[in-house]
Structure 1
């Protein structure tokens, strides 16, 4: 099991939290000794794409290191890896998605809220009481969590009021925070499947799945469709030099008069770029962008496509929330694409569950939307999977 009694030390210089937990360690004294010894073992090797996950050997033993941005602080934890996990609690959709990709749904003994699950088998098991619901944030039940008797609880931290990892850690359960959602590229997110492979004893399968996903993603980035030889594409600069138009993409939505959009170094910006689009704010490196609606309307006529319009699923929803979006060119020309094309019985969005483990398919899906919005393809086509035109269904 993972032992969560490791101390946290705040570095005044770097604002860096360090903590160490381990499979097989018994008691805080051994853990403190392990922390001291590990300092002499060097650093874990970086993975190919991930910025927040490392897996490798320290002093001849297997470890994982996970970095999470929590508010203004950075939380870094190392975990000594041991026997495969048999019973886990998954409190985020993505954690479920990685396990599903590896055929590990039977290892899930509890989730946060079952209504957000998309996988029909796990959803049915929650409904039948075979998989417990323990809640999230302030609603999390420590009693139900303890009753599930997990080998490990998968959680995450945002630095906000919904965080519950300190409460979980206080009752002595083994805990691991995952931060795949903070990665800035699709392949970096997908690479987290290696951690799940190692934790559950299916490392070879996970490595194989990732290598296949990487190969297909890079092929699709070059303009092809997954499983088909590339027919067009290349970098944004290459397409521009060849005189090929790059569809310009608007992202986000207005809430209370403030338009929220991801920055140019975000996951969404990278996905748009790899899908052959030109994100309007690709050069802005801020994590999150905010504009007035008036500023958006000034550039709206230059956008060919509108992607991820907030929480809104239909044109009527958008108009009801902000009537002035009707002046946005992409809205007027019915080129608005939302990522909620696949939903579960309770309304959960599969983009946050399984898409994270299928980067090539996600890329191809978005590429079809972006390219079909400008190349004269049949606009009634519905085979867009996660991304779909909100004017069609």
Structure 2
């Protein structure tokens, strides 16, 4: 009987052991992907969306370039959840662990978002580092923490693959980029940032939330954007109080065509919010308007202010390019303003880097130029008069 009792005890012990092992194994099974998805609501940006569930986020680029017929979907999984989540990779254009530890971006407009979020040290490579103006990121370039990757049209993929970033943030004109296809085939996700396609200044700035999602800094990104939005709207309200709106001309000739913002462009929105009379504010169009010199001269000869005359950096270079420019009243009165003379240490134009992320500063600049009495103590950040 004792032998039978011993056998029963052994069988019970074995059963408990098997049960314990089964429980341990069950805990290692992939976590169920919850389907109760909640979508983030953005105030202005339409080009991307973020949906959340209990385990990870899905970031979708809806409008990576003008008239895009394809969207891109990325799974953003917190590093601590990587081992417990199984996804079908065929459903995504990239499965990315967050927060990002090594990144490559390809436009200077991406630099301010990294700096505002305090994660610029994760940047390991950039094509055309001389275009970067920020002192903080330039210090990292000088310390060789950020590698030069050549030109955007032909990124040095050999150096990039050596750096092994977890993601490359690019931008597409039409989706045909052989370099990006090579990078994707190597296993590195390429995310198309479409901030430049957005229709308003604040929509462009809201793309800081795109980077916030990559770094698990959603709350910080929201807070930063809210501050920019408030500063922008406060400036807009201030400008709305003036009764006299100066007339404004923009752009210049390129070969035989004068390019200037359409009335439905983000640039025209800035002029409207600055409460100025942009002479082409009622002319709708995709991108820039392309006009003849005669058409612009007829309408803009008497304009009070001339903003952003292409890349010309002085009244002299403007005159040398075309003697007829001197016939505009704004030229005669020296009320021509541009951002091209405000550059970083290696010649990068600050406006092209920071202007997208900080529309509040751009708006204040225009208000200072057009309504100087409203901001008596303010020093313009980008726009300066041509000498």
| TM-score grouping bracket, smaller chain normalisation | 0.7 to 0.9
Name the structure 2 match of 1:384.
Answer: 380
**Native 8 Å contact 1:44 1:55 kept in 2:** yes
Q: Single out whichever of 43-52 and 202-211 deviates more from structure 2.
A: 43-52
Segments of structure 2 that go 5 or more residues without pairing to the other structure are 1-32, 78-97
Partner of 1:314: 314
Paired with 2:374 and 2:353, the residues of 1 have a C-alpha distance of 32
> Aligned pair in 2 of structure 1 residues 304, 75: CA closer, same or farther (>3 Å)?
farther
1:1-393 alignment runs, 5 A limit: 44=39, 46-57=41-52, 61-68=56-63, 70=65, 72-82=67-77, 83-159=98-174, 164-223=179-238, 233-234=240-241, 244-287=243-286, 288-372=288-372, 383-391=379-387
Q: Which segments of 5 or more consecutive residues in structure 1 lack a partner in the other structure? A: 1-36, 224-231
CA RMSD of aligned residues (A): 2.7
Measured in 1, the distance between the counterparts of 2:325 and 2:188 equals 48
CA deviation profile, 1:261-291 (whole Å, cap 9, x unmatched): 1211111100111112122111111122111
Deviations 1:180-237 (A, max 9, x none): 11212111111111111121122211111111111111111111xxxxxxxx525xxx
Q: 1: distance between equivalents of 2:211 and 2:320?
A: 42
Cα pair 1:247 1:305 within 8 Å, conserved: yes
CA distance in 1, matches of 2:311, 2:64: 24
State the TM-score, normalizing by the size of structure 1.
Answer: 0.78
For the pair shown, which has the larger CA radius of gyration, 1 or 2?
A: 2
- Check 1:317–1:168 CA distance in 2 against 1; reply closer, same or farther (3 A cut): farther
What is the aligned length?
334
Q: Secondary structure at the match of 1:79?
A: strand
- Quickly say closer, same or farther: Cα 1:42–1:292, change in 2 above 3 A: farther
Query: 1:52-90 CA deviation, whole Å, 9 max, x = no partner?
Result: 122223697422221335465344212222221011001
Distance 2:223 2:111 in 1: 19
TM-score scaled by structure 2?
0.79
